[in-house]
Amino acid sequence: MAGGYNKFGPNDIFYNRVKTHPQNRFFIYDSRMYYMYRHEQPGVHADNVTNVSSGHISLYEMNIDRDATATGLIKPFVYKNSNMDSFQAVTVDSYFSQYAYGDKIEGTYPMSSSIIRKRFASGLAGTGSSLQNTFNHYKHLSKHYEYSSSIFGGNKGDQESNLILVPSVFYGSSIKKGSVSLKYYMTGTLIGELNDANRNGELIQIGPTGSAGSGSVAGVVLYNEGFLHITGNWDLYGQNGNVKALDYKNDGTPVNTSWLYFGVGANDGIPMSDEPADSLESRASASYEVNFDGVNYVPTITMMAHAPVGQFNHSNNLTYIEYDQSTALTPETGTYQYIENDLVIKNVVSSSYADPTGSFEKTTYISKVGIYDDHKNLIGVASLATPVKKTQDREYTFKLKLDI
């Protein structure tokens, strides 16, 4: 192990940003959800090893397969003090009325996230003007975004609509344009597919060929906000003699199969169907697939650590010196002197013979690169998979890359 240090120069540190496109796939069937086609994995202490429902991701990945009855679940906590530290779920009123100074305020783990479906039978008027402004912000992409239009479907405040909410933890900065695909299946057969192939936010029905609504715009995508707003109300399945109405609401009221009922069961409070799965009148005949990619930016720092010629060829590692020099390690001391004895450095130069060895040359092996701040505090260590042989006439540059 070599010892020594060098300062990073002005051209040795680079700040960059990596653009990634995380893929997301949700499959929904009879109020059960599957993310990236993963089924529940039973654990020793939990029905699902992640301790969250199927179709969800575990934020922070706390309490993985943890026995809640024996040891309890890990919880975040803070103590009430003058700093007013608390959790978002604790209101200001409850913070002062329910907790005394010194009381422990606890949160909960695990936390989870998934997509959510909301059905609006009488439009978006109840969501307030903020959503209206958001729709109108996208008008430069397509006229179908207009909140109030006499040409493209009327006022969104009055239209029946189907809203799919995607938390930003899945996509990052925004949903990638051209990546959204919604597929509607009936008894395993594709009866409708929407995508935004034009990259302007319009969800256009592209198939199957000859199906009702082919080529029509069934909704729009709010890319930055993570909303899929669907208004297509044409019957997708009531043709060619198929049964037209299914019990989507699970309340005994059959309704026509349309995009307004796409994604039923995606955390919308509608329970699993209580009818046989092989009945065409049952909602269990329908399944849905939501596909999209995200746009996520990862800040990175790249550092060039140099090992120049003639440097880093000494080590404080005890294996650097010849074995059994215990007496030499004891310095000579006296009233007026303190003299350290010379130590013999181990010669590791390769030779064709066992004795003598090759001509001595100071040699070290670099196995780790430490990163220090301005105050010489160690803030990071980069480990090499294989130590690098460093002789006095060799120089190296180690490229260190870190996500920040």
Among residues of the chain, what percentage have pLDDT more than 90?
Answer: 54
Least confident window among 36-40, 272-276, 278-282, 310-314: 278-282
Sort 42 into a burial class: Cβ within 10 Å, 0-12 / 13-18 / 19+. exposed
For residue 229, pLDDT over 70 is answered with yes
In the predicted model, what is the mean pLDDT of residues 191-200? 95
What are the tens digits of pLDDT across the range 61-72? 889 998 877 778
pLDDT of residue 56: 95
Which tokens belong to 283? 């909602």
Asked if residues 205 and 249 have their Cβ atoms less than 8 Å apart, the reply is no
pTM of the full predicted structure? 0.79
Instruction: State the Cα–Cα distance between residues 367 and 382, nearest whole angstrom.
Output: 9
Q: Report DSSP state, residue 69.
A: T
Beta bridge partners of 63: none
Instruction: State the Cα–Cα distance between residues 205 and 198, nearest whole angstrom.
Output: 12
For residue 250, pLDDT over 80 is answered with no
For residue 110, pLDDT over 80 is answered with yes
In the predicted model, what is the mean pLDDT of residues 134-157? 85
In the predicted model, what is the mean pLDDT of residues 318-330? 77
Sort 7 into a burial class: Cβ within 10 Å, 0-12 / 13-18 / 19+. exposed
